[in-house]
Structures are given as C-alpha cells and as structure tokens.
Amino acid sequence: MLPTRVDVLIVGAGPTGLALAIVLQQAGVNYLVIDKLDCGQNLSRAVVIHAHTLEIMEALGVSNELVRQGLTISKIAIRDRDQALLRVRLDKLPSAYRYLLMIPQDVTETILGERLTALGGSVHRSVTATAIEQNDGGASARLATRDGERMVTARYVIGGDGMHSLVRQSSGMAFEGSTYEESFVLADVKMQWLLDPDENSLFLSPAGPVLVVPLPGGSFRVVAMLADPPEKPTKQDIQRLLDTRGPTGGNNVVQEILWSSRFRIHHRVVDSYRSGAVLLMGDAAHVHSPAGGQGMNTGLVDAVVLGQLLVKVLRDNRPDATLDTYNTLRRPAALEVLALAGRLTRMAVLQGPLLRRLRNSLLRLVDHLPPAKRHLALDLSGLSRKTFSKID
Ligand SMILES: Cc1cc2nc3c(=O)[nH]c(=O)nc-3n(C[C@H](O)[C@H](O)[C@H](O)COP(=O)(O)OP(=O)(O)OC[C@H]3O[C@@H](n4cnc5c(N)ncnc54)[C@H](O)[C@@H]3O)c2cc1C
C-alpha cells in the first residue's frame, strides 16, 4: 500500500536510489522509493568501484561486503599492442582501499538492496512516476501502479531515474551537452588471457582502443569503441577486436560470451542539481563516456551527500537552504569527471600516425614522472575530488 504523503519521494531504485534510501532509512527520515521495474536489473554494466566511493559507502555499512564479493586490482596499464606506454599503480593511494574494486553493477545493487532490507526498508516496485508537479508545500507525483493511478505528495522529490529522467524533464531542468560520434561495444567473457591478471589494460592501436579488465570469478570485461557496433556482439566480434587491437600473437582466446551489449555515449550535465523541491542525482544529472569508469561512482557519492543533507533538513531542522549545498558541491564534481572522461576518450581515439606517435611519446614521458602518475591515480580513484563530498 502506497502512502499519500511522504517527506522524500525517491524515483528510481538503481544504485543511487538504493544508496539514498539506505541513508534515509538509517536516519529515520520518512521516505518512499519506487521503481518501474518489477525486479532489479540483472545486467553487469558498471564494473568498477573506486577508492573514494568505497570510503563514502562506509556510512552505508556496505563497503566490507562489496570488497568481499569483488576482485581487487592494483595496476592500470596503457599499451600500444605489445608495448607498454604508461603503468600506474594504485597500491600507494592515500586510502584504506588501495585498489580498483572490480564488481558487476548487478552485484553492487544486490548488496545495496539487501542492506536496505536488513535495515527494515523496501523498494515499491512496478510503480512508475508519470508526472511531477511542484506546489507550495513541495511537489506531487502521479504514479502508475498495478492497481491504477495514485497521487503522492512529498516535501522533496529526488530523481534517481537515470539518463532519460522523467523527474528532470517534468521540472524543465536543462540537460546540456552532446552525443559522441562513436559507440561502444562491451562484453563479459570467459577467455584465455595471458597478461597480468592484476592489471586493467587499455590497448591503443591504429584500429582503435580496446580495454580488458578482469572480473570476479575468472571472467573479463572487454570494451571497445566502434563506429557501427553490432546490436549483440558475438564471440567472433570480440575475438576480432582483441586480435586487431590487443596483444599480437593471437594467444588470447575468447571461449564464451556471458553478456554483451552496445551503447552510445552522451556528454551532458544539468544546469542545476536543484529546482525548488526537486533534486537530481546520478545519471539523471550527469552522463559521460565510460572511460575511467566514473559514472556510477559519481552517482553513488551524489546519493550519500544528498542523503546527509536531507537528514540535516528533515531530522535536524536545519533550514531548507542547507540543500543548496548539494548543487554547490556535486555539480563541480560532475564537471571535473566529464572533463576527465572526455580527455581519456580523446586520448584513446586519436587518429593519424603523427598524432598517435606524439601521444605515445607523451604517455612514455609521463611513465617516468611519478608526480604525474600519482595525479592520474588520484583522479581515477576519486580521491582528488574529496572536497566535493565534504559537508560542514
Ligand atoms: C550497457 C551499459 C554499460 C555501462 N557500463 C558502465 C561502465 O563500464 N562504467 C560505468 O561507470 N558506468 C557504466 N554504465 C553506466 C551505469 O550503469 C550508470 O552510471 C548507473 O546505472 C547510474 O545509476 P543511477 O542510479 O543514476 O541510474 P540507473 O541505474 O539508470 O537507475 C535508474 C532507475 O530508475 C528507474 N526508473 C526510471 N524511470 C522511472 C520512472 N519514471 N518511475 C519509476 N522508476 C523509474 C529505472 O527502472 C532504474 O531502475 C553503463 C550503462 C549501460 C546501460
């Protein structure tokens, strides 16, 4: 049975919606979290959690379980086929989490969902928000349920409803940016892989980039940029990408496709994370290239920061203006992430022999500059953006 009035309505129970629900549940704030799907998505999608995200998620009581179920990787390498250009180690990061945690997104969502249940919370599923309207006391939401239409009023409505956010569109919040020419193919595969199993490897080649990262349970994620990717990449498609872009010699053999997909990348951020009683987080507020694996990580930090600010307003009686801090903190973080993902993408897709030679020389130079490598490690791990998650 849905309530008709709540303090916080969270639209979307992806990773950000679940994380925000946990923060509010722990603090005893009145909320409702809905999702149009009748069960969580069973797709691996984002596969890395970075050090800063794990630090932030300690407040939710899930970091230990994530680490237990994930695979830790301490090295990143950029290679031009067989030649190493730049190697970065993460085992000296100034964090308790000195690694990349490889863990499929469906496992992350299951861990978050189980934590919410253990705390006594739950997601109201098969409930779709179809319209949001702001009024004097907050906002009202029209919801489509199995039993017909329902109206819920809330002091705050939070859009954690992904890239095509209804909450964002209903509130007329601008989502400026562009769509890249390139598309990505991605596949989770079983394969014989002869390179270091403790390394995420990005291969640059004249044919384009391909990324290979180990996953828990002995499988691998392969990601490549392609102009016109097949809808469901096959074993042969992924083998061809590895043979033409990865290490030479043909010794790395794809044995089985566990999941494959393709997607187009956009590069967008909302003008403001807040419009009156409506606030956005995660992909509803920012989308960008998956280079660097920052998307879900940035969204999870958004959710925890927003949750902590909502607790201050709704439980600790701080003024409503306290919530403005959310935009002040998190929009600059998204802009930095968009810039980082954009730089990595442009570096990976450079065309033409001269530019490629120049890029490779620059990467080899950086490989001999420890401060530059440390800077890159801090950017990737999110630790360089710590100030954007600090609340007074
Ligand atoms: C194929 C693919 C591969 C990806 N790979 C990577 C990667 O390698 N690295 C990376 O960092 N990121 C990756 N991403 C992006 C990553 O999945 C997102 O950043 C992350 O899921 C964002 O979380 P979110 O909670 O903001 O939104 P979402 O995960 O999109 O969740 C939104 C939720 O809202 C629900 N919803 C939507 N509209 C409504 C409505 N009107 N009413 C009720 N519920 C609604 C949806 O059902 C969904 O459950 C990938 C995404 C895709 C699709």
Sign, CA dihedral 204-299-332-181, equals positive
Write the CB contacts of 169 (distance below 8 Å, at least 6 apart in sequence): none
Question: Relative to the CA of 284, which ligand 1 atom is closest?
Answer: 26
Shortest-distance Cα residue to atom 41 of ligand 1: 129
Question: What local confidence, expressed as pLDDT, does residue 44 receive?
Answer: 84
CA nearest ligand 1 atom 1, residue: 45
Q: CB atoms < 10 A from the CB of 149, how many? A: 9
Residue type, 27: A
Q: How many residues are there in the chain?
A: 392
Tokens for 361, please give them: 């020389």
Residue 161 CA to ligand 1 centre (angstroms)? 8
Top mutation candidate among 35, 164, 289 for ligand 1, by most atoms within 8 Å of CB = 35
Global model pTM greater than 0.95:
yes
Of ligand 1's atoms, which has the minimum distance to the CA of residue 35? 44
- Cβ-in-10-Å burial (0-12, 13-18, 19+) of 212 comes to buried
Which protein residue's CA is at the shortest distance from atom 50 of ligand 1?
Answer: 45
User: What residue owns the CA closest to ligand 1's atom 42?
Assistant: 128
Q: How far is the CA of 163 from the centre of ligand 1 (A)?
A: 7
Residue-level pLDDT at 349: 87
* Residues in a beta bridge with 10: 33, 158
Find the helix packing angle between 295-314 and 324-348, rounded to 10°.
Answer: 180
Please identify, by atom number, the ligand 1 atom nearest to the C-alpha of residue 167: 41
Atom of ligand 1 nearest to the CA of 41: 49
CA dist 389 to 141, 211, 382, Å? 29, 29, 10
Low-confidence ranges of the chain (pLDDT < 70): none
Atom 2 in ligand 1: residue holding the nearest Cα: 45
- Number of the ligand 1 atom closest to the C-alpha atom of 105: 17
H helices present in the chain, as ranges: 15-27, 51-57, 63-69, 105-118, 166-170, 235-245, 295-314, 324-348, 353-367, 370-381
Report how far ligand 1's centroid is from the alpha carbon of 75 (Å): 27
Q: Residue 77 in contact with residue 200, Cβ under 8 Å?
A: yes
Distances (CA, A) of 314 to 7, 156, 281: 8, 10, 18
Structure confidence at residue 40 (pLDDT): 84
SS3 77: strand
Which tokens is 79 given?
């290679």
Site to substitute for ligand 1 among 34, 57, 100, 105, most atoms within 8 A of C-beta: 105
Q: Are 110 and 15 in contact (CB under 8 A)?
A: no
- Residue 219: closest CA among 238, 240, 241: 238
Q: Which two tokens mark 5?
A: 């009035």
Q: Which residues line ligand 1 (CB under 6 A)?
A: 11-17, 34-37, 45-47, 105, 128-129, 160-162, 166, 186, 261, 263, 282-284, 290, 293-296, 299
* DSSP three-state, residue 247: coil
pLDDT at 1: 84
Distance CA 206, CA 245 (A): 8
> Ligand 1: distance of its center to the CA of 368 in Å?
38
**Do the strands 71-73 and 175-192 form a parallel or antiparallel pair, or are they unpaired?**
unpaired
Provide the phi-psi class of 225: left if phi over 0, else alpha when psi is between -120 and 50, else beta: beta
Atom 30 (ligand 1) nearest CA: 162
A 10 A CB-CB count for 84 gives: 14
